[in-house]
Amino acid sequence: MKNIKHCLLVVTAVASLAGCGSTVKLDDVSVEDKAGQAVQTADPAAANAASTKGQTAITTLAPTKPGNATSADVLVAGGRVVYFDYDSSAIRPEFQSLIEAHARVLKADKAKKASIEGHTDERGGREYNLSLGQKRAESVRKALSLLGVLDAQMEAVSFGKEKPAMLGGSDAAMEKNRRAEITVR
């Protein structure tokens, strides 16, 4: 009787684990941009022009040999900035392709490092904003990690409201300041 219970327990555990598996490779999953019109370009000037018009600049990442990827390969949606909603550290879907592009570059060259800086707008106290900036940087770091980037390749830091991208209290300025910047070196 004891052996039957043990066998049933093992069979149940194996069945549970088998149900958790997935054959979908993250690199093979298509990502649909629902944020707006997409513009395909490999030119940095054209990408910046597209992002100021509210469009998403998408570059085609040519297959690269390990160690051959450059920061220019990561020119997706303005290149390196992930914007956040007010009082949030959740990554918005329109920035997933940017994070995936950075992950591809970092996985292709293990010698590359990424610095992820979290920032906030001017609302809130210094300590609160440092904490929120760190949560934003950690969200991006975790997303990169889930895509296969080694933890040793990434560093997440917070600047809170200390380094605004745009001065002023307007809604547009505050939107530009709620961000995480990814720098690959």
Provide the domain count of the chain.
1
Q: Does residue 75 form part of some domain? A: yes
Residue 157 resides in a domain: yes
List phi, psi (to 5°) of 49: -65, -40
Report the DSSP pairing between strands 179-184 and 38-40: unpaired
- Condensed to tens digits (0 to 9), the pLDDT of residues 10-27 reads 656 555 555 544 444 444
> Residue 156, SS3?
strand
CATH number of the domain residue 59 falls in:
3.30.1330.60
> How distant is the alpha carbon of residue 21 from its chain centre?
24
Classify residue 22: in a domain, yes or no.
no
**What integer is the mean pLDDT of 106-122?**
96
What is the pLDDT, as a whole number, of residue 93? 96
Domain holding 171, by residue range, is: 31-184
Residue 19 is assigned to a structural domain of this protein: no
Percent of the chain at pLDDT exceeding 90: 57
Query: How does residue 71 score in pLDDT terms, banded at 50, 70 and 90?
Result: very low
- Indicate whether 2 belongs to any domain: no
Domain membership of residue 118 (yes or no) is yes
Beta strands in the chain (DSSP E): 38-40, 56-58, 81-83, 114-119, 154-160, 179-184
Per-residue pLDDT band for 79 (boundaries 50, 70, 90) equals: confident
Is residue 92 a contact partner of residue 110, using CB atoms and an 8 Å limit?
A: no
- The answer to whether position 71 is within a domain reads yes
| pLDDT at residue 15, rounded to an integer | 56
Structure confidence at residue 103 (pLDDT): 95
The answer to the question of residue 64 being in a domain is yes
Number of H helices, E strands in the chain: 5, 6
In this predicted structure, the answer to whether residue 66 has a pLDDT above a threshold of 90 is no
